[in-house]
Amino acid sequence: MTKILLLNGPNLQLLGRREPEIYGRVTLDEIVAAVTKEAAVYGAEVEAFQSNWEGALVDRIGGAMTDGTDGIIINPAALTHASVAVRDALAAVHVPAVEVHLSHVDAREPFRQVRLTTPVCIGVIAGFGAYSYILALQALMDHLKMGKKQQRGNAARKGVKI
């Protein structure tokens, strides 16, 4: 079974109440439930983790290297723009990650357009509210599926039967 790690950074536990005109009225629990339900369609399981602490997120990302995690969906929140540690952890684990944001960060304040984590992710989904998470899952699952097809294709060309 494919294992997806769903990471959420600072203040996202406040979703549904925090600046709903920007972030919407959907709670983090509702997002996790929707992603978990969608993941089941793909035969995947989701482990959700939220922390306001940079170190806790770095530790959890580091664990993805050895715990069987196949892919990461991460909303680093404010750490997107400030955390070299989260960026370096994502780069170190060699697990494909999709960055997700509820709001259209490029249309907001200039400081939000500097994203340290983006270059080490396979892609970014932003601006679609809570649905951004579903789109991120779909993109990640497609990436994982294509990677497996590519591996089979490479092995077949080398005469290996899979």
Task: Give the residue numbers annotated as catalytic, written as ranges.
Answer: 23, 101
Can you give the chain as a three-state secondary structure string? CEEEEEEECCCHHHCCCCCHHHHCCCCHHHHHHHHHHHHHHCCEEEEEEECCCHHHHHHHHHHCCCCCCCEEEEECHHHHHCCHHHHHHHHHHCCCEEEEECCCHHHCCHHHHCCCCHHHCCEEEECCCCHHHHHHHHHHHHHHHHHHHHHHHHHHHCCCCC
Encoding tokens for residue 105? 């960060």
Q: Residue for token digits 């959907």?
A: 26
Nearest-angstrom CA–CA distance, 21 and 25: 8
